[in-house]
Amino acid sequence: MISFLICLALLIGGYFLYGKVVENTFGPDDRETPAVKINDGVDYVVLPQWKLFMIQLLNIAGLGPIFGALQGALWGPIVFLWITFGTIFAGGVHDYFSGMMSERNNGASISEISGIYLGGFMKNVMRVFSVVLLIMVGTVFAVGPAGLIVTLFKNGGSNGIVTTTLFWLIIVLVYYFIATFLSIDKIIGKIYPVFGICLIVMAAGVIIGIFVKPEYTIPELWDNFRSMHPKGTPVWSFMFITVACGAISGFHSTQSPLMARCMKSEKQGHFVFYGAMVSEGIIALVWAAAGCALYEVTGGLNTGLAEILANGQSAAIYDVCVKTMGKVGVALAMLGVIACPITSGDTAFRSARLVLADWFKLDQKKWKNRLLLCVPVLGVGAILGVGNALGAIDYTIIWRYFSWTNQTLAMIVLWAASMYLFYDKKNYWLTAVPATFMSAVSATYFLLGNECLGQLINHKAADGTIIYNTAVAYPVGIAVAALFLGIFLYTIKKRHTQPHYETLGK
C-alpha cells in the first residue's frame, strides 16, 4: 500500500507544484473572459468556480477513469506510474492548455484552436474528426445506459416495454436533446455537481473498503515491477492507450471549451482544468489499486481480474463496489454505471453542436440556430443508436480504434499548445515534450494494434496468442516522434514570434 500512497501524494503535490508551473507559464491575467464579454445566456454563462470544477470533472470523467484503470490494472501496479506521471506532466498540461487556449479565443472549439495554431488543413481535419468522434461517444453513452437499465428491470422481474432497449434509448436521447438545446445552467449546471459528488464518493468508498478489510492488500510497485498482463500484451504502448482518461485523453479537449465559456476569471483555470484532471487521476489510481488488490494472481499474472472483466466492465464495477462497500456499494455502482455515462453523452452532443456552430458561424443565442444543429446531430445519434439496438449496426470494429484516435487527438492538441507558447514567447518545451511522447505512443500503437497493419507485422502462436513484433514497431514509433519534433522545431524557425491569441472575431 505504500507505493499507492506515494503515488497519491505525488498527484496531490503535482497539482500544487507542477500545476502552478503550468499556470505561471501560461500567465493568466485580469482580462475580460468570454463568459463576461459575450454572455449569451445559453453557452456563455458565468458559473461559480465549484460548479465549473464539478461539471468539468463529469465532462472529462464519467466512467472513463474507472473502465480504463481496471483494464490498465491487468498490467499490475506499474500502471500506477503512468496514471501518476501521465496526469501530472501530460494530462493536466493538456487539459489546462486546451481550456485556456479556448478561453483566450472567445471559447472556441478545439478544432478552431487547432486551425489557429497549426493551420487551415488541420482545422478542417479536426472539425470532421471532432464531430464524428463526439457523435460516436454520445451514441455509445446512450446505448450503454439503456441496456443497463433494461438489465435492472429484467433482474427485478419486470416485463413489457420497460424491458426493451429501444424504449430506454428513446428516453435517453430525448434527455440528450433537451440538455443539448437548453442553456448550460438549466440542466447541466444543476445536476452535474450532484453526480460529480457521487463519482468522488464512490472512489472514496472503494479505497476505504480496501484499507479497512484485511483480506485485501494493494501490491507494492517495487515487488511487481513487471508486466502482469495475462495475455502478454506489451506495456508499450498498449497500457498508455488503454488508460486514457486516467492519464491523458484527447476527448477532454473537446469538453474544456464548455467551461472556458463559463469562467469569470482566467485565474480559475488552474483549479478547474488542471485540478479536475488531477482529481480524475486520483479516481483512476483508486480503481487501478482495486483491480490489483481484489483479485487473485496466478503465476504472476492478473488472471482473476481478467475473468471478472470478461463478464463486462459494468459487472467489474459492480463486483468491486460490492466487495468494498457492501449494500451501499450496490446503490453507488448502479448510479455510477448508468448516470456517469449519460453525463458524458449529453456534453458530447453539446460539444458537437458547438463545433458545428463555430464551423458554420451560427449564433447559438438564437433558438432557431440551436434547433438547426440539434436536430441533425441528435438525429444521426438516434439512427446509429436504434440501428445498434436492433442489431443492424455493430460498433465493435469502429470502437476498436477509439482509444487510438483519442490519444492522437491529445497529441495534436499538445502540438497546438506548443505553437501557442512559441507565439507567446513562453517555454514551449512544457507541452512539446509530452506531445513528442504521445506521438511515439500513438505511432507505435497504430502499428501494433491496428487490425490491418497488425496482421502484417504480428503473428499468432499455436494457442492463438498474438506475438507482437515490437522490434519493428518500437523503432518506427520513436522515429515518428522524432520526425514530428523536428517538423515543429523547423517550423518555429521559419515563423515570426508574436502573440497569436484572441484571433477569433477580429
Q: Which of 114, 62, 127 is nearest to 313 (CA)?
A: 62
Tell me the range of 137-151, 164-178, 363-377 where mean pLDDT is highest.
363-377
Give the mean model confidence (pLDDT) for residues 129-145: 82
Q: Which backbone phi and psi does 466 adopt, to 5 degrees?
A: -80, 130
pLDDT, tens digit (0-9, with 9 covering 90-100), for 303-344: 999 999 888 777 788 888 889 998 787 777 777 777 777 888
Q: Do residues 56 and 464 touch, judged by C-beta distance below 8 A?
A: no
Question: Cell 468491486 sits at which residue?
Answer: 320
pLDDT at position 484: 97
* Spatial separation of the C-alpha atoms in residues 402 and 13, rounded to whole Å: 31
- pLDDT > 60? residue 501: no
Encode pLDDT of 71-102 as tens digits: 999 999 999 999 999 999 999 999 999 999 99
Distance between CA atoms of residues 106 and 112, nearest Å: 11
- At residue 506 the predicted structure's pLDDT band, cuts being 50, 70 and 90, is very low
**pLDDT tens digits for 11-31?**
999 999 999 999 999 999 999
pLDDT reading at 53 higher than 90? yes
Q: What is the pLDDT of residue 6?
A: 98
More confident residue, 269 or 155: 269
Please give the pLDDT value at position 122. Answer: 87
% of the chain with per-residue pLDDT over 70: 93
281: pLDDT strictly greater than 70: yes
**Tell me, what's the pLDDT at 437?**
98
For residues 450 and 403, give the distance between their C-alpha atoms in angstroms, rounded to a whole number. Answer: 11
Q: Is 184 helix (H, G, I), strand (E, B) or coil?
A: coil
**H or E, element range at 459:** strand 459-460
Where is pLDDT greater, at 290 or 310? 290
Q: What is the dihedral of CA 206, 140, 402, 189, to 10 degrees?
A: -60
Domains and CATH numbers, the chain: 2-409 (1.20.1740)
127 within 8 A of 111, measured Cβ to Cβ: yes
Mean pLDDT of all residues belonging to the chain: 88
